[in-house]
Structure 1
């Protein structure tokens, strides 16, 4: 039997804001919203990257309406200014997607508290500041406001070598679920989005520590493998459809769904399996210092790890070119 879903409402004419909207998944979500007739404001830190993104969106034709806003989501004042300015310019705010974030990849003994602090400040702090600044506007939306917080399968269970990321995304998960409950009586829907691996080209923007070249090899390979990762355009389409239908939660990719369900049923088993997975990941014996963006890692590991990188990252490399990922900055 097919599961009943609320009918999707038209989004035409609504005002939407996407943080981290200048590249990757955020850019694609902005494109989906614009394609449905929204006036979209994309926010990110880098002016040049924003202009390239706006040009890519406008090339779609069809009267796409897109504006740009420079904003660091880890700065509360920036976020408050973003929503005040957008509400004035667009006559209100109806849809908000909190997507901005960073991805540090390293074993925990190759990083420290600073990396956890920065990741929490950017991912969770960004989602929190965005939510708090957006909600007053969304409550006034005549269409009924919609808020989507982009979490991750890493927020449903801890992923080895992605601990700062998992901690931050876990906090986003709790925020989305709590806001959904509290805003239900105010006409604002809140959607928690938990993607698995996607081919967005993010491997070049992710930051790697420890044995950097090997960390980059496994991450880029998994993120680019079709049977494990998801086409980013399809993911963006499903996310916007879930927001339109006011779904409280969407988990993308079969692997992410299976991992989330299994962790809920047998958390001890999943924890033990994660321990086994961690043993085959690179250790920090050959640690090379601090975190470095994937695009700056030129050394290719020898043997299997090198072949893994060359094979698995091919699709992601092409995605990086399509989705504006070749940027000098390290985060949206």
Structure 2
């Protein structure tokens, strides 16, 4: 399904007020805003700019080029490396040939202009050696489709009528920069060069002309492919073999299957999942050519670095299974994939290759359902899916016009296990404690719920906020997503008293992340009344939300955790009132006591499965807690015979430590139980966070 949307237009009015680095940034962000032009983190851009040398005061030529590890679509000005162009050219005298080209990376820091800390990427020589003021290196689907055809050189000549050159695949680095320079010198007047199996180099004398040249070449490739496909009356991917499931059935199957997949794939290290059911994906997974094309692997190195060399196909006879039968079959399929990957490693490894990496698949293709991608964090899983969509687009176009060919296996291995890539991985910071974990927080839009969510997010977890207040839920979810990234936060309306609503919330969590690891049962109300004035309606409301609601969310979390078979963590936010009764709060105290006993029951049944359950008991959390915005504040003041404005002082002075308790304090208690390294051997416990309340001491 070809995307015919126009590419973003250059805004001359906006560009008029920008300096050269600003124009480069604008061009880069514009190119990176469209995944048809380049993938997330893929491609690079550069500009050669006259600047004053801070040492000599002389004007010198400085190469501004996307730094290592950046993304042109989202980068800021500090994402560029800056290097003296004359020093980059002088590196030619140090170059000892192809077998030693990796050592050239070590010289790049010596070329740094103005002490810029941004590390230069391996692609720097590709930009420094081309003689143009502005250079783009993109990975457009349409051009990679041509680059990945069996007759790529001939077709490149035909598509661009000699205005674009062609070079065979070569790993990025200093040698490729030298060959690009020589090829360009031998073929004057080119608008760009296609690198076999990889992408497009293009250029211009201004940022605008460079951008327009790049987009024009991509549009030309798109138009030619569409014309050829129509002329050949090509049947895309061999035609349809399967029908897609209806949305409701697909959701039901995924909610059941994803936690099992996640558990099998997470052996030894937690993983998160991302589901993609876009038209491109559905066309591919339901096609007759799915398996032969999937087996060929991807062509562009940026694709398979994110997706592994090939995906795993999981057919309907597998995902229709349930329970132990489903897990056993998935175990078998993943074991076979791991063995195949290990064999690939053994076939291709060099004497100095890094050790075998995680051999599990990243891309799972499920006919009739879609694509599931698996990674250590949600953003990486999502981006891997986007890369495989690019690979699907390439295969579609290449096979319709000519014959798609993947990158040779040894070349793929040498990129995947490149020592420079390994060094980059080794420099990655140590992951936070909750990376790869999914927490669902009921009452997530309230004061305590928000504080808990923030604490979990700060430690790397993905958080699902479940709340009945849709307006507050939308506001808090948006705020947290802005602060911690859209991949890490979801909001779902959930009425904890409604069984169907609770089940739907956990289904959504499984569809978004693959399952759940941490349940924080925090939804709450508070009410007070003398015993004789406590109506059955008030009693039932407390029991419905605080007892039945905690039972329902606990049961559904337990079910998902059991399917995952990776343990889990249930944390009940109860109350001091569950330990010691308060005057004129019978319904509330009884329900809170029920929560504590529920947690103990969860702990008892969960222990054989590695599922822990513990209680955090707050007391008198007045600031930021939503339960004090209703009648509870006035009711507790009346029960204690004080003015409502004196409540915080009253509770503070009543505590042994004479300190107020805040939502952030409760969040710390919850995090203690959520963190395996802190409380991995704790279950069935109660932690009072109440500044000291003698009657509530646990016995």
TM-score relative to the length of structure 2: 0.34
Structure 2: distance between partners of 1:75 and 1:211: 28
Matched, 1:15 2:438: yes
8 Å CA contact 1:35, 1:64 repeated in 2: no
8 Å CA contact 1:196, 1:229 repeated in 2: no
The match for 1:197 is: 620
Structure 2: distance between partners of 1:234 and 1:131: 23
8 Å CA contact 2:574, 2:618 repeated in 1: yes
8 Å CA contact 2:524, 2:627 repeated in 1: no
The match for 1:260 is: 696
Structure 1: distance between partners of 2:507 and 2:531: 39
The match for 2:665 is: 234
Structure 1: distance between partners of 2:644 and 2:583: 11
Tell me the SS of whatever aligns to 1:105.
Answer: coil
Tell me the SS of whatever aligns to 2:668.
Answer: helix
The match for 1:185 is: 608
The match for 1:268 is: none
The match for 1:221 is: 646
Matched, 1:151 2:574: yes
**CA apart distance, 1:209:** 9.9
**CA apart distance, 1:24:** 1.1
Tell me the SS of whatever aligns to 2:492.
Answer: strand
Tell me the SS of whatever aligns to 2:483.
Answer: coil
The match for 1:207 is: 631
Q: How does 1:74-153 map to 2 (within 5 A)?
A: 74-141=497-564, 143-153=566-576
Q: Which runs of 5+ in 2 are unaligned?
A: 1-431, 653-657
Structure 1: distance between partners of 2:492 and 2:521: 14
CA RMSD in angstroms, aligned pairs only: 2.6
Deviations 1:148-185 (A, max 9, x none): 11111100111112221100000011110121122111
8 Å CA contact 1:209, 1:215 repeated in 2: no
Structure 2: distance between partners of 1:211 and 1:93: 37
Structure 1: distance between partners of 2:645 and 2:625: 9
Query: More deviation in 60-69 or 144-153?
Result: 60-69
Q: Which runs of 5+ in 1 are unaligned?
A: 1-8, 265-332
Count of equivalent residues? 254
Matched, 1:45 2:468: yes
Higher RCO structure, 1 or 2 (CA under 8 Å, sep 6+): 1
Tell me the SS of whatever aligns to 1:194.
Answer: strand
Query: More deviation in 139-148 or 36-45?
Result: 139-148
Structure 2: distance between partners of 1:139 and 1:233: 30
Deviations 1:27-52 (A, max 9, x none): 11111111111111101112111011
Structure 1: distance between partners of 2:561 and 2:643: 41
Structure 1: distance between partners of 2:534 and 2:470: 30
**CA apart distance, 1:132:** 0.8
Deviations 1:117-151 (A, max 9, x none): 11110111110000111101122446521111111
8 Å CA contact 2:633, 2:644 repeated in 1: no
Structure 1: distance between partners of 2:536 and 2:648: 26
8 Å CA contact 1:17, 1:41 repeated in 2: yes
Deviations 1:244-290 (A, max 9, x none): 1243321112323x2223x84xxxxxxxxxxxxxxxxxxxxxxxxxx
